Structure 1
């Protein structure tokens, strides 16, 4: 069987080692590769992707792929994005397992979303964090820069219409809490721009839990400063691995023991640390 991830750029993706380990744990003979190309080539390269048994989709193609699919899961429809495609005998089914990765990460750390949640960013993944937090009883604020306020208000309206719930929209430069959970859904702090964080260090005081969905570097500046302020911190590798587990459940019905996934997360973090040392 053949699988791949597509996106652009993909120079530092951790997906191949994660998925190849999951195939090995399930005793499946499969290969997982990287297929990367610029956006203007997508409509020509989709045939190459559809020849696979399944594939993952990441930035910037999570919405681009939608018109090329035959059916979307309820989650993909709700979040308006696909990150997993299954080739079901020539029918192409789209799923969103980012939400599975998020929810299972929170569950594995015994963190409730039914609290005051602040989501930094209202892009694709930020949108998902906000919607799912509302669905699970969270009192949600979305914080963006001035340039993102229009998009955040569109999300606010969508949540009002689809879920009958209210969220607050704030400018990140004047953000006010308090919050029980802070989620970074922005790229601020991602390699190679590690020396930045989306909020001030002072803002972190008194926030019990900080989740940064960035996985490279393993410890972002936000995570380091939050830890120093006494916050509990969670990095993005957990979510990356758990969403991959959900993809394997979709593709082949594979099942894994929680201890196997914990070990896999730890191993991938070690690999990432080795990469960081060589960068």
Structure 2
């Protein structure tokens, strides 16, 4: 089975390329600019067709949440129009598409972990553009899998884990918001889930497993709790550590509002595909150890 992933630099794309290595019967290929450029829709269909995919993973996206407030046209061009063209290309080729979306399609006002049928209400341009992308993907054909995720980190690219380790190397104390809750999600785990789901979808000609799902790490925390676990693991590995000071979102203003509740229930994905993510603490520890050079925790 040949998976063609849009975007070469993203955390999920890099994780998929790594996960696909040496996996029998699986080939993962990533494509990106200039051959495939979501800002230039005319490039998309030919670029994907040239790779002859069995499954298309739509991972490339505009992800600058605050910058999107100043660049709404660009955010929508990539996350909505571009995503729709990727799904259209897959449909023309008779290939299922797995499209990555976000917790930012919700406003965070719910008191529970969001399920797939909860009403969407994005707070900003980024979330609105990703929601428009979901609709475009669904409209392109029935053989789609939309995966909403949140708080993604990995050994690759820019992410919260790397930021905390970098700041701890220079500071004794780091201020982190404590009133936003979610599920830290390791892109390496996501890659495993996507490969697992792709195998199911490849053999599902009746679209029984297609639709919208949430896919996030198991367990929940707030950003400051996430930071403490990262830094405690780093210290146990002999790496940098700093005190974490809880602050409120209002003390760390950002151009785009963030959902106070980003918790996603992944129960539907577990029920349909028989796959659940490890506890977020376990996956975080593995990534921190890898970033610290593979040291095992002391003691």
- What TM-score, normalized to structure 1? 0.41
Greater relative contact order structure (CA < 8 Å, 6+ sep): 2
- Give the TM-score taking structure 2 as reference length: 0.39
